Amino acid sequence: MNWEIVIGLEVHTQLSTVSKIFSGASTAFGAEPNTQACAVDIALPGVLPVLNKGAVERAIRLGLAVGGKINSPSIFARKNYFYPDLPKGYQISQYELPIVEGGSVLILVEGVQKTVRLTRAHLEETRVNRCTRISTA
């Protein structure tokens, strides 16, 4: 029997923005604990997320670099589950219409050029932090 190996990767990348994806709190590395967590991050009653424009711009740049389709509109969705490090009880992520769909990355393996096709790249928060996520297949 002949088997074909198909490997999919899910890659999380932290963006270089100076503030978080849904709040104005700083992302600076190495600060004292709890000094960069604002009311939105700890999900106090009544707070609301506001999308970081810089994060969207970086995701679009990535999409253009890999030749993907930039979705407009693009939709954010809540992924609901309980966990102690998930203050709101849901993660804001993307499901339908992620910011980037398709595209590809060319790599050289032992002198042979290979194409890695991308399924999607979407924006999401992680913990009280943020990253983009690229799934390839």
Partner 1 sequence: MLNFSLKELADLLAAKKISSVELTTEFLRRAQALNPHYNAFITLNEDLSLAQAQAADAMIAAGRVQPLTGIPIAQKDIFCAKDWRTTCGSKMLESFISPYDAHVIEQFNRAGAVNLGKTNMDEFAMGSSNETSYFGTVKNPWDNAAVPGGSSGGSACAVAARMAAAATGTDTGGSIRQPAALCGISGIKPTYGVVSRYGMIAFASSLDQAGPMAKSAEDCALMMNVMAGFDERDSTSLQREPENYLRDLEQPLKGLRIGLPKEYFAEGLSADVARAVEAALAEYRTLGATTVDISLPNTKLSVPVYYVLAPAEASSNLSRFDGVRYGHRAKNYGDLNDMYSKSRSEGFGAEVKRRILIGTYVLSHGYYDAYYLQAQKIRRLIAQDFTAAFQKCDVIMGPTTPSTAFNLGEKSGDPVSMYLSDIYTIAVNLAGLPGLSIPCGFGDNGRPVGLQIIGDYFSEAKMLGVAHQYQRVTDWHQLSPKVM
Nearer to partner 1, 43 or 97 (CB): 43
- Residue 72 touching partner 1 (CB under 8 A): no
Distance CA 60, CA 113 (A): 25
Any contact of residue 44 with partner 1 (CB under 8 A)? yes
Cβ contact 21:40 at 8 Å: no
Q: Is 129 in the site for partner 1 (CB under 8 A)?
A: no
Strand-pairing partners, residue 129, are: 126
**Is residue 48 within the footprint of partner 1 (CB under 8 A)?**
yes
Q: Confirm or reject binding of residue 39 to partner 1 (CB under 8 A).
A: yes
> Quick count: other Cβ atoms within 10 Å of Cβ 25?
17
97 binds partner 1 (CB under 8 A): no
Which residues in the 6-25 window bind partner 1 by CB under 8 A? none
Question: Which one-letter DSSP state was computed for residue 1?
Answer: -
Could you tell me if 93 and 79 are in contact, meaning their C-beta atoms sit under 8 angstroms apart?
Answer: yes
Contact between 54 and partner 1 per CB under 8 A:
no
Closest approach, Cβ 75 to partner 1, in A, equals 13
Q: DSSP states of 2-20 as a string?
A: -------EEEEE----SB-
Sites of contact with partner 1 (CB under 8 A): 39, 42-51, 78, 80, 82, 84, 87-90
